[in-house]
């Protein structure tokens, strides 16, 4: 990232929320379940699959975790009613992980059970490293309890990830592999771009060696190419590629046209702020984007991207 971009990334939390909301609109389906339904239907019409995320991570009370749990049950019902090709992605902190692990477990179980009854799948997102152990333990407990419609996420930035793949190997897990968005210390996480890439491929190779179902989640073109080389020979049902809503959409369409299963991560909800900041901080054109927004407000009618 250029110096100006890095400077803007640092001050983004000080940017007014209204501006953040406007700049990040492309990354979020909208505030309501109806917005998510429309977005997923449009993706399906383009032969793209979806995974729906109810936004909400910094929760403070059990009632909020229960509200998010109920929101997921509503999503699952909507997916079935509309006949959408979609599953859901949950963040365990949103289900109460930091309040009470047993509350979180109960909420997760109710989402996974409901999804199972509807023939749907639940992906447990991975959050910062304070959640890794609990997340993997809750995942293992579910699988050992005979539940199969659930998968997990591993982050290539973490040094432990290849070992985690091997430790999970007996479960033949469905694993979304991503770089990892959270800033972690060098003692536990690779800091250099190339080291994260190398660990991504090492983890993918370990997933394949352990006959896991890999979901390769990256927009990094080099990693997409290198991953596809390693996936060659698998049938189209034996892996998938994943991207975020609003990022590299033309490339996603090309990958679908080439015959790959591609799933788009579709967040929706009122609690858009933290997710939006993370997406903006990752946008390599963030400086131009912010400048464009300012200019767009000064010069009516000018587009901002």
Ligand X SMILES: Cc1cc2nc3c(=O)[nH]c(=O)nc-3n(C[C@H](O)[C@H](O)[C@H](O)COP(=O)(O)OP(=O)(O)OC[C@H]3O[C@@H](n4cnc5c(N)ncnc54)[C@H](O)[C@@H]3O)c2cc1C
Active site residues: 125, 176
Question: Nearest 5°: phi and psi at 95?
Answer: -95, 5
Which range in 111-119, 161-169, 176-184, 269-277 contacts ligand X by CB under 6 A? 176-184
**Number of neighbours of residue 119 by Cβ within 10 angstroms:** 8
What is d(CA 285, CA 287) in angstroms, rounded to the nearest whole number?
A: 6
With CB under 6 A as the contact rule, the residue among 182, 230, 249, 291 that binds ligand X is 182
With CB under 6 A as the contact rule, the residue among 121, 190, 239, 265 that binds ligand X is 265
Cβ atoms 123, 151 nearer than 8 A? yes
Is residue 70 helix, strand or coil?
helix
Question: Nearest 5°: phi and psi at 116?
Answer: -60, -40
Question: Nearest 5°: phi and psi at 103?
Answer: -65, -45
Closest to ligand X by CB, 115 vs 266, is 266
Which range in 135-143, 252-260, 281-289, 295-303 contacts ligand X by CB under 6 A? 281-289
Which parts of 112-171 interact with ligand X (CB under 6 A)? 125-126, 153, 155
Interaction of residue 175 with ligand X, rule CB under 6 A: no
Interaction of residue 279 with ligand X, rule CB under 6 A: yes
With CB under 6 A as the contact rule, the residue among 22, 160, 166, 248 that binds ligand X is 248
With CB under 6 A as the contact rule, the residue among 55, 104, 131, 243 that binds ligand X is 243
Counting other chains too, the contacts that 168-174 makes at CB distance below 8 Å and 24 or more residues apart are 168/136, 168/139, 168/140, 168/210, 168/212, 169/210, 169/212, 171/140, 171/143, 171/144, 172/210, 172/211, 172/212, 172/213, 173/139, 173/143, 173/212, 173/213, 174/121, 174/123, 174/150, 174/212, 174/213, 174/215
Is residue 88 helix, strand or coil?
strand
Interaction of residue 195 with ligand X, rule CB under 6 A: no
Closest to ligand X by CB, 143 vs 179, is 179
Give the distance between the most distant pair of CA atoms in the chain.
59
With CB under 6 A as the contact rule, the residue among 179, 190, 226, 290 that binds ligand X is 179
Question: Nearest 5°: phi and psi at 259?
Answer: 100, 10
Interaction of residue 213 with ligand X, rule CB under 6 A: no
Closest to ligand X by CB, 247 vs 291, is 247
With CB under 6 A as the contact rule, the residue among 199, 218, 227, 276 that binds ligand X is 218
What is d(CA 91, CA 238) in angstroms, rounded to the nearest whole number?
A: 25
Which range in 28-36, 80-88, 158-166, 218-226 contacts ligand X by CB under 6 A? 218-226
Interaction of residue 85 with ligand X, rule CB under 6 A: no
- At its nearest, how many Å lie between ligand X and the CB of residue 244? 5
Interaction of residue 266 with ligand X, rule CB under 6 A: no
Interaction of residue 244 with ligand X, rule CB under 6 A: yes
Interaction of residue 39 with ligand X, rule CB under 6 A: no
- At its nearest, how many Å lie between ligand X and the CB of residue 132? 10
What is d(CA 290, CA 300) in angstroms, rounded to the nearest whole number?
A: 16
Question: Nearest 5°: phi and psi at 74?
Answer: -65, -40
Contacts to ligand X by CB under 6 A: 125-126, 153, 155, 176, 178-182, 217-220, 242-244, 247-248, 265, 279, 282-284
């Amino acid at each position: 990232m250029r110096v100006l971009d890095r400077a803007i990334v640092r001050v983004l939390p000080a940017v007014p929320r209204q501006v953040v909301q406007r700049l990040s609109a492309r990354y979020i389906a909208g505030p309501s379940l109806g917005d998510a339904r429309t977005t997923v239907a449009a993706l399906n019409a383009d032969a793209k699959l979806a995974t729906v995320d109810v936004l909400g991570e910094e929760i403070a009370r059990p009632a909020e975790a229960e509200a998010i749990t109920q929101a997921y049950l509503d999503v699952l019902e909507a997916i079935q009613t509309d006949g959408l090709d979609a599953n859901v992605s949950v963040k365990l902190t949103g289900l109460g992980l930091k309040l009470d692990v047993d509350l979180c477990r109960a909420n997760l179980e109710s989402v996974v059970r409901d999804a199972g009854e509807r023939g749907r799948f639940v992906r447990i997102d991975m959050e910062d490293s304070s959640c890794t152990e609990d997340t993997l333990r809750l995942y293992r407990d579910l699988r050992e309890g005979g539940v199969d419609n659930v998968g997990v996420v591993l982050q290539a930035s973490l040094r432990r990830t290849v070992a985690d793949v091997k430790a999970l190997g007996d479960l033949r897990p469905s694993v979304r592999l991503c770089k990892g968005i959270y800033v972690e210390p060098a003692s536990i996480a690779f800091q250099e771009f190339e080291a994260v890439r190398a660990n991504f491929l090492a983890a993918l190779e370990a997933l394949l060696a352990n006959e896991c179902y890999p979901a390769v989640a990256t927009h990094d073109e080099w990693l997409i190419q290198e991953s596809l080389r390693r996936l060659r020979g698998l049938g189209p049902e034996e892996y998938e590629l994943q991207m975020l809503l609003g990022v590299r959409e033309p490339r996603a369409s090309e990958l679908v046209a080439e015959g790959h299963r591609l799933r788009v991560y579709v967040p929706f909800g009122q609690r858009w702020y933290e997710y939006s900041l993370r997406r903006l901080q990752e946008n390599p054109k963030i400086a131009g984007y912010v400048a464009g927004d300012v200019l767009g407000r000064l010069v009516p009618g000018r587009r901002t991207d």
